[in-house]
Structure 1
Amino acid sequence: MKNQNHENAGHSRDDDHEDHGDHSHREHHKQMVKDFKWRFWWVFALTVPILALSPMIQQFMGVDWSFSGDSWILAALSTVVFFFGGWPFLTGLVDELKEKQPGMMTLIGLAISIAYVYSTAVVLGFEGDLLYWELSTLVGIMLLGHWIEMRSVLSASAALEELAELLPGKAHRVNEDGDTEDVPLDELREGDKVLIKPGEKIPADGDVVKGESSVNEAMLTGESKPVNKADGDEVIGGSVNEKGSLTIEITKTGDDSFLSQVMNLVEEAQQSKSRTQDLANRAAFWLTLIAITAGLLTFGAWIFFTGQDFGFAMNRTVAVMVITCPHALGLAIPLVVSMSTSLAATNGFLIRDRPAFEQARNLNAIIFDKTGTLTEGTFTVTDILNFGDDYSDDEILKYAASLETNSEHPLAKGILEKADDTFNVEEFDSITGKGIQGKVNGKSVKVVSPGFIRENEFDYPEEDVEEISSQGKTVVFVVIEDALAGAIALGDEIRESSKNAIKALHDMGIECIMLTGDNRETAEYVAGELGMDQVFAEVLPDEKADKVKEVQEQGKLVAMTGDGVNDAPALAQADVGIAIGAGSDVAVETGDIVLVKNNPEDVTALVKLSKSTYRKMVQNLWWASGYNIVAIPLAAGTLYAWGVILSPAVGAILMSLSTVIVAVNARFLKIENE
């Protein structure tokens, strides 16, 4: 109902599609925010003279500002407020009734219509009280509430735009004579040859026909290690060429490309996500039924059972109908939403989709991507193996780091970050496919792969190396003066915050599942270290959303946490999508909640805040509408025989107190430990 009401506000659905058909859903929501803001400030400006001219307000303040014709001016100003400010609610009322789903728009539209028609009848001579001031303040507060609510959340549809931005703007197409020309991507055709320079993004899917390099596909496939590419290897559009130049032959473009398929998966998952009806709408539905029923019973009782005149019965009926729509109801939820959004931001996460955030309180399972979410996503030195007494661990690392200063390999960064300083290097050279070598501090040094060690039949403790390799780590060997000095293991380090987060979630009774494109050996090791309940390993990008569905089909409410493009369909498919903010833009735009600080512990904080927010919403709804239990019978005149009757003015005072209580209560929202 929330999305439906937002679309109703300010436009009918047909007009909306005609006027905004060429705009993105996100731009439409931005326009709606502007529309509510604009209407609110106009109504606010008109409410000031309406209050000043209202006899009830003057009586309350003990002043007399009446003059000849003041009621007609009051009626004219209120007419503007009713039709201009109340238009979103009036059109919303019509649409909700057409769909036979009365909610907030029906309740508001009904209340302002009754107040306007009744007050206009009084101006024309019907005996009663002018309620234009009630109409104006109600419209103003409801516009403010919708403005606050819509500002807190914008559409997640920008995910598709972010996906498209992964591709470069142009490509270096290689002509038949060997020259290159820069062309837009839409001019690329299957069979074209394209040059990709170091550091550039690959413009389309293809096969390498010339050159050798390592390509970072982490944001696309979830594989933490950059992948070596040579003749005949496939490359994916959107991945990054880290070193060396590659010439590729285009094999897929447009809708057939990997990236386009991911975009389609995201779009499908977003469109299939169910829309939940929010608390305020459910409260409004019941209040609408109560208002109509109580109003009819009140009118009928006074006319048919007591013999009161039509004017008295109508006054009581209007009092009931207007009082049943409390001002505070329009702010009960938006104020809590605004506070929770602010509180979330100060605690390291941003709420982008409120219904999904509210669902987080009921999560049964949370699926975590491994690379960049549970782990750091970068290579770090984890172990140094010393095979002799000639060199210390620090010296082995220093010799290796010295050589790596001349290397562009991704592993070099991890070794260099670990070393405190380096020696000077001479005669640096690469060993094709096996490693690097050179003169370091006057000694011959090699940093080589396990394949080089096996080929040259070096002796080393194989069991120790195999144990480290089984943990998904990459091992390089350091040879000094033709003697094997030691080995350095590098791995994608597990975040300390991941361990704390998994433990906290287990304490809350939430199942923790790991989902990754990495090999099973690496995945099982990381899962074991963290105490995960289940592992999905070697999962292809287009299978990740299916894994989320698989868990959902077990009857569980599922959240997905990830940072890569390959996670985007799964994020969109999940009941709650949690994007790591330091990841790709598309993951951020697809997520319902964004972890700004890249801290998995924030997942536990958002679940706790979701629970606290829901409790605060329920409290506010009781404060906003609970007083009706007392106010409606009094307004209907049930105690009239004893001289007790609730006038619209007193009812308004009760509503004002309710609004203040709701605002104060929202301020006390905090993340509570369970």
Structure 2
Amino acid sequence: MSKMDKHEQEDHPHERHEHHAGGNPHHSHHENHRNHVHSGHGGHDHHGHGSHEEMISDFKKRFFITLVLAIPIIVLSDMIQMFFNYSLTFPGDTAIELILSSIVFFYGGWPFLTGLVSEVKGKSPGMMTLIGFAITVAYVYSVATVFGVEGMDFFWELATLIAIMLLGHWIEMKSVMKASDSLESLVELMPQEANKLMENDEITPVPVAELKKGDRLLIKPGEKIPADGHILKGKSSIDESMLTGESVPVEKEQGDEIIGGSINSSGSLTIEVSKTSDEGYLSQVVQLVKEAQESKSKTQMLSDRAAKLLFYVAIVAGLLTFIIWIALGYSVGDAMTRMVTVLVISCPHALGLAIPLVAARSTAISAQKGLFIRNRIGFEDARRVDTIAFDKTGTLTKGEFGVTDILTEEQTSEKELLRLAASVELQSEHPIAMGIVNKASEEQVDIPQPEDFDSMTGAGITGKVDGQSISVVSPGFLQREGIRYDEDHFSKLSETGKTVVFVLRDQALLGAIALADAVKDSAKEAVDRLHQIGIEALMLTGDNEKVAREVGKQIGINYVIAEVLPHEKAEKIKELQKGGNRVGMTGDGINDAPALANADLGIAVGAGTDVAMETADVVLVNSHPKDVVSIIDLSRLTYRKMIQNLWWAAGYNIAAIPLAAGILAPWGIILDPALGAVLMSLSTVIVAINAQSLKTK
């Protein structure tokens, strides 16, 4: 027989490709990573479900109150009355307008005023600075006109601006679900109590936090392992798939290392704690994720970048207007009126809705397609991604064994071999057993209940079917018993990452069944489509290299990096980024969390762990790899629509600023503020209609 791959275990019936990932991930310095919380709405962070809901409710309430108060302010405005040629005056009308406008300014405008302070302190002017500055100028100047300063008030402009901006922020926050950097899901993976063995071997439940190095613990079948350690007594298969990316349980025996947070699938174990909870493997993953999430982002949303530019344009245009009007010999009052008109008109009402309406529309479309956008910045940047790294187990593959080959001896049919094997495996919970039983069910094979079912330690399982002794065993068992089989064929299957079990009847070989982690139906389609749109696909997995390369070959991925630990996945992402790549990472396990947090675009598979979803920008609810392509497509379409809307929103202002500044005043043409208001409303309507026209192919 040819020498088996170093990762094979010959003495187990359900042999597998093992890469033990129990090493110590070291901490690396995380710099310039994307923070997954976008703050900026009035200086608030979107932290936690409760506070996010409260913010949405707060903006909604402020919007409706402002809207109600804005109606009498607009009706009483002298400027609006002149434009629409009507008159409405009564004793105290100016006082009422002042009081209502003051309430609108301080109550409705409060999030923007606090946001202005926050952005100025952070030396990063954006949307809040632009709005806050415009409403402050409009309010202060308007109050001054009430108390005798020459000019017309801008109370109507103030009220409409605040109402529209509140509406925009409310829509935006409704469409954007919380982006939480909570690590609670990781912490919850660890059991809270452990069964500690005292000196007299008496079992005492103790809190995991109190465990010390050297403590002995009893781990029963089905229990989570409470801390990193090594086995003193017992033998079992350990499910480490969510931690390390291993596609099947790892067989462990005395002396082997085990990882806290993994699941003991079968036998009872006595282990000795080698690392306390804050030193363990899972704790190090928590730390890697935390570091990536705490690193503040330099990325700003598109609307903030546009607002920042307009803010500087407004300041420069306003000052130039004042200086030029004074230089031309006009009074300070005239120059001040022109400057304020420019400053107020520079803040486009439509800009407040341009991005939020497109964001709301794209979020609705993504939800219909089973894409859950958790972080808008990451989603917006998806259009720039040029490399997508895929985890293998559970992402490209189903994370469960499927039968790939059935090899029979002359006297046995494939269906008969499957029937006998499935009957014996019916009582087992092992992934390989489930794979064989599922295949038999798919083929509509009648599976009889076995008699005298028994497990042969390190060899396989046996039972009586139709009165005959049927065994499903490992190649190691055949070698020990001297039973001949086709070693060349077995080696070929083994080398492609398949697990092979043999079926015996009364010690006579009937055939063999090969199994592998089944590739998802849409995986090849996803990779082909990514290549078509110019995006490189690679695989980044903790699983065995031969298994990974075989899966890569099936779906068209040539660049495969296997047997990597969580911190190594994150480092590989950073290495690609340093090379100038914009990297997306798709994964489902705890071992993917640091890489998801560090990637420019983190994509979690919905069927995976909560931890992966907590650290991702987008979650694929349906777990289809081809949905990765949908994210890129939707991000590109959304960005295009946002740019169109920004031009519609800001284009009117770009044209209106010179007119408001009085560039055509020598020819008697000055933009009437009321006409400006009508044009502003028109641009807002166009922006709204354009946003709703966003559609995917």
TM-score of the superposed pair, with normalisation by structure 2: 0.90
Q: Shift of residue 62 of structure 1? A: 6.0
Q: Shift of residue 581 of structure 1? A: 1.1
Matched, 1:398 2:419: yes
- Which of 566, 582, 602 lines up with 2:591 in the alignment? 566
- Which of 244, 248, 271 lines up with 2:271 in the alignment? 248
| Matched residue, 2:336 | 314
CA distance in 2, matches of 1:118, 1:57: 17
Give the counterpart letter for 1:666 in structure 2.
A
Matched, 1:86 2:100: no
Does the aligned pair in 1 maintain the 2:500–2:514 contact within 8 Å?
Answer: yes
Matched, 1:229 2:262: no
Q: How does 1:379-458 map to 2 (within 5 A)?
A: 379-388=401-410, 390-419=411-440, 420-458=445-483
Q: Shift of residue 375 of structure 1? A: 0.7
Does the aligned pair in 2 maintain the 1:5–1:105 contact within 8 Å?
Answer: no
- Which of 583, 605, 609 lines up with 2:630 in the alignment? 605
- Which of 164, 177, 181 lines up with 2:187 in the alignment? 164
Matched, 1:477 2:506: no
SS in 1 for 2:595: helix
Q: Shift of residue 314 of structure 1? A: 2.7
CA distance in 2, matches of 1:516, 1:264: 20
SS in 2 for 1:371: coil
Matched, 1:142 2:153: no
Matched, 1:521 2:546: yes
Q: 1:343 to 1:4 in 2, by over 3 A?
A: closer
- Which of 441, 446, 461 lines up with 2:486 in the alignment? 461
Q: 1:72 to 1:583 in 2, by over 3 A?
A: same
Q: 1:241 to 1:531 in 2, by over 3 A?
A: same
- The Cα offsets for residues 9-30 of structure 1, whole Å up to 9 and x where unpaired, read as 545xxxx8xxx9xx96676655
Q: Shift of residue 351 of structure 1? A: 1.2
Give the counterpart letter for 1:591 in structure 2.
A
| Matched residue, 2:642 | 617
CA distance in 1, matches of 2:503, 2:512: 6
Give the counterpart letter for 2:369 in structure 1.
N
| Matched residue, 2:151 | 128
- Which of 286, 291, 295 lines up with 2:309 in the alignment? 286
Q: Shift of residue 362 of structure 1? A: 1.3
Report % sequence identity. Answer: 58
Does the aligned pair in 1 maintain the 2:453–2:461 contact within 8 Å?
Answer: yes
Does the aligned pair in 1 maintain the 2:401–2:435 contact within 8 Å?
Answer: yes
After TM superposition, the structure 1 stretch with the greater mean CA deviation from structure 2, 146-155 or 101-110, is 146-155
- Which of 374, 378, 401 lines up with 1:352 in the alignment? 374
Matched, 1:545 2:570: yes
Does the aligned pair in 2 maintain the 1:605–1:671 contact within 8 Å?
Answer: no
Give the counterpart letter for 2:564 in structure 1.
V
| Matched residue, 1:343 | 365
| Matched residue, 2:281 | 258
| Matched residue, 1:647 | 672
Does the aligned pair in 1 maintain the 2:37–2:47 contact within 8 Å?
Answer: no
| Matched residue, 1:532 | 557
CA distance in 2, matches of 1:196, 1:273: 41
- Which of 366, 378, 386 lines up with 2:388 in the alignment? 366
Give the counterpart letter for 1:473 in structure 2.
K
CA distance in 1, matches of 2:676, 2:37: 28
SS in 2 for 1:208: strand
Does the aligned pair in 1 maintain the 2:400–2:518 contact within 8 Å?
Answer: yes
Give the counterpart letter for 1:136 in structure 2.
A
Q: 1:498 to 1:4 in 2, by over 3 A?
A: closer
More relative contact order, 1 or 2 (CA 8 Å, 6+ apart)? 2
Q: What is the alpha-carbon root mean square deviation over aligned residues?
A: 2.4
Does the aligned pair in 1 maintain the 2:36–2:617 contact within 8 Å?
Answer: no
| Matched residue, 1:378 | 400
Q: 1:177 to 1:151 in 2, by over 3 A?
A: farther
After TM superposition, the structure 1 stretch with the greater mean CA deviation from structure 2, 463-472 or 636-645, is 636-645
Q: Which runs of 5+ in 1 are unaligned?
A: none
* Count of aligned residue pairs for this structure pair: 661
Q: Which runs of 5+ in 2 are unaligned?
A: 1-33
SS in 2 for 1:496: coil
Q: Shift of residue 619 of structure 1? A: 0.5
- The Cα offsets for residues 396-436 of structure 1, whole Å up to 9 and x where unpaired, read as 00000000112232211111111132123222222221011
Does the aligned pair in 2 maintain the 1:8–1:91 contact within 8 Å?
Answer: no
Higher share in helix: 1
SS in 2 for 1:356: helix
SS in 2 for 1:263: helix
SS in 1 for 2:194: strand
After TM superposition, the structure 1 stretch with the greater mean CA deviation from structure 2, 366-375 or 529-538, is 529-538
Does the aligned pair in 2 maintain the 1:43–1:136 contact within 8 Å?
Answer: yes
Does the aligned pair in 2 maintain the 1:273–1:575 contact within 8 Å?
Answer: no
- Which of 214, 219, 224 lines up with 1:191 in the alignment? 214
Q: 1:98 to 1:270 in 2, by over 3 A?
A: closer
Q: Shift of residue 583 of structure 1? A: 0.4
CA distance in 1, matches of 2:47, 2:314: 38
- Which of 523, 526, 537 lines up with 1:512 in the alignment? 537
After TM superposition, the structure 1 stretch with the greater mean CA deviation from structure 2, 635-644 or 366-375, is 635-644
CA distance in 1, matches of 2:515, 2:326: 86
